[in-house]
Structure 1
Amino acid sequence: MVRVKICGVTNGADLRAVADAGADAVGVISAIPVDSPREVDLAQAADLASMAPPFLTTVLVTMPETPEDAVDAVRTVTPDVVQLHGEFSPEEIGYIRAETETKVIPVVDYDEPERARKLDEAADALVVDSTDEDGGGGTGETGDWEAAAELRRDLVSPVVLAGGLTPENVVDAAATVEPFAVDVASGVERSPGAKDHAAVSRFVRNAGRALGEAEEVYE
């Protein structure tokens, strides 16, 4: 089973559409140092997280300057999971988890397999994404799926595949990488920061087909 996270939700209507589509997780982006149409302030992030129905995992996506800033953001929003952008060490990830009692998922670029291996034992999972020069995700650029598949086989941590995914390519991506989950933001938008509800449903539905596709490919 390939799980689905819809990221960059900015309003209640989009969050309800994510839940209605049957996604497993919803991401809210806050406290990042780069411009993004998907960012909301921490108070809005907390409101959105509180709106999530039971069994929809809430994920705070943030890029703090320090581990202490990460802890403060998590305490404000109270998500189920924090997705952490930035150059944090295994020890800092452990500190954030211990202080917040929240699962921590760092983000690594497709081009950073050694960093992924370094963070493997410290992380609850790893997001493999196409990041920009500032370390932020949501670039909409597709990564090297074959390299991600090799990395996934090397790691103990579950791998969440991101970067340029759409309803049209998610089956192939998941069949190639066989990740724990797939993660989409810009690939299901009608405009920056606003979700296309039909595209969200198609993405979730097509991701659900991925396991069957993978079984056919690897038989």
Structure 2
Amino acid sequence: MLVKICGATSAAEVRGVADAGADLIGLWHGVPGGRADLSAHRLTELAAEARATGRLEAVLVTFAADAEALARLTGPGGPAWIQLHGYQPPGTVRALRARVPDGVRIVKVLHVDGGSCVEARLIGAYERAGTDCFLLDAVGAGGRVGSTAVSLDDGTVTGLADRMHRPFLLAGGLDAGNRDRFPGTLAHPRFLGIDVDSAARGGDGLLAAGNAAAVTRAWRAP
């Protein structure tokens, strides 16, 4: 099971996430008003910090849709994953796939509002465009997307997963105590791992190695 911890803004947070046993570190860029939004230069610095741990791979998390600009941020000097966390169309995925270096993985977030997925009818189109995997996340109050801390229903998750031919990550209010709420998700053959933000943070709002480790241990338990 892959564990992704999202929203690092400092080298200390990156190293703490690596010490916690996670596999992926989410770095925000092109998230207007986001508390963890990074400049392109800072994104590159923290991606290098992730590589230096010998464990973590960096994930560029973005609401942006400029495929050419995003592709320039990836590759040997940048993140090895791009997570499109917004309502970018399949055409953006197709344009990215044509531009990113070999080995860069493209993740498309699917947004679930209540029991329905906004992009459900586009799953096949995203796959044909070159999506490597999906990430399922909940829409918050007022249509907010990203870091909503709202949990999804296990049956909704597995129902969407059954429509896919690609692996998926689960996000949305995951913590060290709610793994048992997702038996169908954990057993699904396309389940790839989890994406955590709020539950990995300490009282100061920063990513805390101890909290990230608690989530990682709980979800990787037999």
Q: Could you state the TM-score of these two structures normalised by the residue count of structure 2?
A: 0.84
Q: Contact conserved, 1:186 with 1:192, CA < 8 A, in 2?
A: no
The equivalent of 2:219 in structure 1 is: 207
The equivalent of 1:177 in structure 2 is: 185
Unaligned runs of 5+ in 2: none
SS at match of 2:58: strand
Percent identity over the alignment is: 26
Counterparts of 1:4 and 1:90 in 2: how far apart (Å)?
A: 26
The equivalent of 2:111 in structure 1 is: 109
Counterparts of 1:192 and 1:137 in 2: how far apart (Å)?
A: 20
Tell me the amino acid that sits aligned with residue 120 of structure 1: E
The equivalent of 2:34 in structure 1 is: 36
Q: Contact conserved, 1:60 with 1:77, CA < 8 A, in 2?
A: no
Structure 1 residues 193, 136: CA separation in 2 closer, same or farther (over 3 Å shift)? Answer: farther
Tell me the amino acid that sits aligned with residue 43 of structure 2: A
Deviations 1:157-191 (A, max 9, x none): 1111001111111x225533122110001121114
Asked if 1:141 is matched to 2:141, the reply is no
Deviations 1:31-64 (A, max 9, x none): 112x222222221111111011224221010111
Q: Contact conserved, 1:9 with 1:38, CA < 8 A, in 2?
A: yes
Q: Which has the higher helix share?
A: 1
Q: Could you state the TM-score of these two structures normalised by the residue count of structure 1?
A: 0.85
Counterparts of 1:193 and 1:80 in 2: how far apart (Å)?
A: 26
SS at match of 2:152: coil
Structure 1 residues 8, 193: CA separation in 2 closer, same or farther (over 3 Å shift)? Answer: farther
Tell me the amino acid that sits aligned with residue 201 of structure 1: A
Unaligned runs of 5+ in 1: 213-219
Aligned-residue RMSD, C-alpha: 2.2
Counterparts of 2:40 and 2:217 in 1: how far apart (Å)?
A: 31
Structure 1 residues 136, 41: CA separation in 2 closer, same or farther (over 3 Å shift)? Answer: farther
Counterparts of 2:199 and 2:72 in 1: how far apart (Å)?
A: 30
